[in-house]
Structure 1
Amino acid sequence: MRSKIVQDQRNQPQVLVENKIAFAGEESELSLYDTYQSTNNIALSSDQLMFCSMLSGKKIMHDNKREFETTFLPHESFIMAPNQVVQIDFPDATNTQPTSCLAIEISSKYITKVCEKLNIEASLSDYQREWQYDNKLLHIHHNTETQALLNRMIHIFTENHQDRDFMVNLSVSELITRLLREQTREFILCHSLSNPEYNGINNVVAYLHQHLKETISIDNLTKISCMSRTKFFNEFKRIIGCTPQDFLFQLRLRKAADLLKRNQSVTQTCFATGYLNTSHFSRSFKKCFGVNPSQYKQIHNSTNTQNAPVANSWRLND
């Protein structure tokens, strides 16, 4: 019943630009935004960390001087540190096809609380890096698990359940943990490329990054890591969060997205990233990004945006 009421409210907007419906939790607030007309330079900011996820349509995010500019699409999220300001353009919004997104604001105190709990449970012997949120503007591509989490959060925030606040906090904790895990993985990737000899896992990560097109041999990776097969698998999954094969697929798809943004053909991108046929490549790409490679290329090349780096850009675990 509550979901129908929410949908009815969204279908009867009070304003055409950034019509907002908000649902508050103890340490967070979820808002649904719908925009029904094309417009430019709408400011967005919050005094808390803000996690934004596109539901439909397209936004172009930029600063007021357009020193960065990036397209923001469904199956992607945009994370802003407290008090950061971005400007938003809505090039395609119409009354019949609104541009929609959700935004989750999370208190800094609650993020610190989750970090402290993770630090108690974590082993810091690998990189001596504590769990903490880095105040950076982040543009990420998320997978089906994260999409399912966001859908579940909409339901939890909007339902009248007697344990609503407790379940909201659980879902927010999961979201924070996923973000922190990805920041750690991005740190390890950068660390591995700059210092591959630091340890065995660094050496393997750097090797995979440099050999995207090749079929990997687990025996070869264990030699590179100087570990036994069992220890290598356990260490890699503990530190990186997935298997070496899955990590290689993630690197390939990330490279593929970059090539398509540069207007390279789908066929060229397929073979340049180690896929043997375009059908398999298209299925894998759509599972990750929510659209097929041709659609992704068309969307990202339909405007004259420079696609300068907005900040770190990475994917959540697949």
Structure 2
Amino acid sequence: MCSENQLTQVPTDLPPAVTSIDLNLFAPIPNLTQLRVSSTNLHTLDFLIHANLTKLQWLLARKNTFSVITEGIIKAMPSLTRLDLRENGFTCDCDNSWFVQWIKNITRTQVIGAQDFKCSYPSQRRGSKLLELDVQSCLVDIDFICFMSSSCFIIFFLVVSFIYHFSRFHLTYAYYIFLAWMFDSKNRQKRAESQYDAFVSYNTHDEAWVYEELVPHLEQEQGWRLCLHHRDFLPGKPIVENIAEAIYGSRKTICVISRRYLQSEWCSKEMQLASFRLFDEREDVLILLFLEDIPTCHLSPFYRMKRLLKKRTYLSWIKAADNPQLFWEKLRQALRSTNRAEEERLRLTVNQMHGVCFQPAE
């Protein structure tokens, strides 16, 4: 019977014990227009998806045990004009939402007895009608979700890119300031002896003075251990991390200040990080050494430095020309002083230094 290629309908219903159908059954009958699979134990009609029954017009599938009709099953029968699924126990949840919507909108296919389709699952809806299912609660606008998701991602990416482009240095600096604060808070009580006596913060244009004047006097003559950028920073480590470790790994920080220094973003961050440690720990860790006479008005952008200058006097190399030995002695005293601000502070006045110290005018 099934070997005839021109067969357009299955003459009789399938046996009741049938629980599945082999797809090879439909291979010889591509022109099938009517299919009866009523009163069987079929649990699903998914076999129709791959049965290639594009000319099927009438499907009679009453009294079976399947409960869900998927979109794929219906679309596999593009020529369907009559569908009889009465006396099946349907699942009344979102699994059948597409099928319910299709029944309500379809005009080309007659769904026999659709208004009487009953729910068997879930138990709280047993006996209610399938067409009463609220499909709106199941509908998910995938296109809208994709649009909103992609839009949010693009906006987020643009905002992050904008912030990173214009503020990456400040973000990195703030991140390491936070790490330094966390490290300092956890280790303040158990901090070991400092690796260096002083970290020297300077601009590369002032490097000659540092290596020709500062290093020979402090390291070679007096034996202080100094931390210098190009000599002691670990290669490959982020520069801000090197700076934080140098400042917190030294008893003092010497800021060699010049106009070039104030113009350098990295130098200003070094000074700010050192002053952050000063204010946070309330310890006298900061020594400001001016290579040039810099009016206070030029320090206006450096709020923290200006605040310090209102309270303290600092070493001036320009005014030390007449008595350089006194300059180095005062610097040695500053390095020797303890970090406890309450016990001992750096008191360098113009009279004491005989012109060696520099107090910026208000």
Please say whether Structure 1 and Structure 2 have the same fold, judged by a TM-score greater than 0.5: no
**Larger Rg: 1 or 2?**
2
Name whichever structure is richer in strand by fraction.
1
Which TM bucket (shorter chain)? under 0.3
